[in-house]
Amino acid sequence: MRARHDLSLNEYEVLLQLWLAEDRRLRRVDLAQRLLLTQGGITRLLAGLERGALVERAPCPEDGRVAYAQLTATGRRRLEAARRDHLAEVERLFADRFDPAELASLGELLSRLRP
């Protein structure tokens, strides 16, 4: 991930969570909870992504005390490229270890985890 897309796994997860979120943004505190990070940890992680123009800070119109982390167009493009490679690698790792019947069973089990 780092070599091809200049992203750590944690940075990829931030971009993915924002991409999945409504309006491509989340409150910073909610993002920290989703990623099981402290406030300090999410602040440091977002600072690097903001410097790279992958994420931007967005104000909340209803409450000036709240700040959102919002995915930028650059961040979306980087995520989409990294996601293709990441999913292909996960698929390759699983496909090499399971036969087709096992993969079908695994897929059915994992589908239960979707929200």
pTM over 0.85: no
Do the beta carbons of residue 18 and residue 59 sit within 8 Å? Answer: no
For 75-115, what is each residue's pLDDT tens digit? 999 999 999 999 888 888 878 889 989 989 988 998 888 66
Joined together, the tokens standing for residue 50 give 């903001």
For 38-47, what is each residue's pLDDT tens digit? 999 999 999 9
Question: For residues 22 and 42, what is the distance between their CA atoms, to the nearest angstrom?
Answer: 19
Q: Which amino acid is at 16?
A: L
